[in-house]
Amino acid sequence: MQLGTGIGGWPGAAADQATRAEALGYDYVNCGELSHDSMLTMALAGYATSNINLLTSVTIAFPRSPMVLAMEAWDIQQMTGGRFSIGLGSQVKGHNERRFGGSWSPAAPRMKEYIRMMKAIWSSWQNGTDADFLGKEYRYTLMTPNFNPGPLECEQPKVYLAVVGPAMARVAGEVADGVLPHGGIMTDKYMREVLLPNVKIGLERSGRSWADIDLSLSGYLILGEDDDQIYKNIQNLRRPLSFYGSTRSYHHVLRLHGLEELGLKLHALSLEGKWQEMHDVITDDDLLQLVETCRYDDYAQFIRDKREYATQMGFSMPTKTDAEKLRAGEVMAELKKVENSGVPKGLEF
């Protein structure tokens, strides 16, 4: 099992964060893109390290052209000797139009074109193929020697795709190299009943198999040393659930668990700016409908038994004291021994 940890904040801290993660034995670092640029963060992290892999999770695609991200990813991949993967996300209509000042069109078909154009660009640079990609949203028909950086001496970057709905999951299966389920609002039930079956549809469309795509672990999983710590950590889910649950684009996850009414309450409270009330309206029963729990002693076996599809996962434990560092190291060592099939149960083909 590949273990990752997040870095972020001001890009000036990226180098120290990444070198610390490398020293702790992580396999990769990832970074989001909220108030800072993910590509700059990864470039700085990559320059400061020598072994750890790098993954943006995610870089917002549509405000940038496919050529811009293809070029940046190519450069980071060359600089790091093949350690970089780019994770793409679409963001929602409001942010694309009102925050980025860009345009919006149906996200799934647009993302499929986006990834295909990026890979067509890389094929030109690596293999000398013609610039001949024509889509509804994007076109790539010009590449002259002055603008061609030339081939890499390592593998091309992998393209991961953030998924929430079934259409984007099909796109991931069809054209992406990895799947990043939306961690903010994702349950194991939704992952297995909605997302993974649609990833399989995409794989079948492109003549690929599960071996051709990396699947990241997902599902609300609450960990702790004992039951008291687990209960306390369950309560910490109220904040992210209130945020993501208030967005109607994510209500299909709650609907699957019979909690659509909760989503409507959270949405109404968000429109009134009642942020604390959003936390309070979520009951313990609501939380227990969505989460699974596990003690750290049982964590590795839980992953073998109940996350058999995953080949990589985020990992976080407190490491402020020497005792905490030792404990985290013990758990990491056991997780690294996990060798999953990468094939979801019931979806073999």
User: CA distances (Å), 230 to each of 186, 218, 222, 223, 325, in order?
Assistant: 19, 18, 6, 6, 19
Domain boundary assignment for the chain? 2-223+295-336, 238-290
The backbone torsions φ and ψ at residue 245, rounded to the nearest 5 degrees and listed phi first, read: -70, -20
> Which two three-digit tokens encode residue 329?
């190291």
On the question of pLDDT at 215 being above 90, the answer is yes
- Give pLDDT tens digits for 254-271: 999 999 999 999 999 999
DSSP-derived 3-state class of residue 152? coil
Q: How many beta carbons lie within 10 A of that of residue 109, not counting itself? A: 14
**For residues 160 and 177, what is the distance between their CA atoms, to the nearest angstrom?**
5
Query: How much of the chain exceeds pLDDT 90, in percent?
Result: 95
pLDDT average, residue stretch 244-251: 88
> Which two three-digit tokens encode residue 224?
């702790």
- Partners of 85 in the beta sheet? 55, 158
| pLDDT bracket for residue 182 (50, 70, 90) | confident
Residue 236, pLDDT score:
92
Q: Judge contact between 324 and 14, C-beta under 8 A.
A: no
pLDDT average, residue stretch 233-253: 91
pTM above 0.75, yes or no: yes
**For residues 9 and 166, what is the distance between their CA atoms, to the nearest angstrom?**
31
Q: How far is CA 129 from the centre of its chain?
A: 30
**For residues 281 and 286, what is the distance between their CA atoms, to the nearest angstrom?**
10
Which CATH fold would you assign to the domain 2-223+295-336?
TIM Barrel (3.20.20)
Residue 319, pLDDT score:
87
**For residues 121 and 114, what is the distance between their CA atoms, to the nearest angstrom?**
11
On the question of pLDDT at 42 being above 90, the answer is yes
**For residues 324 and 316, what is the distance between their CA atoms, to the nearest angstrom?**
11
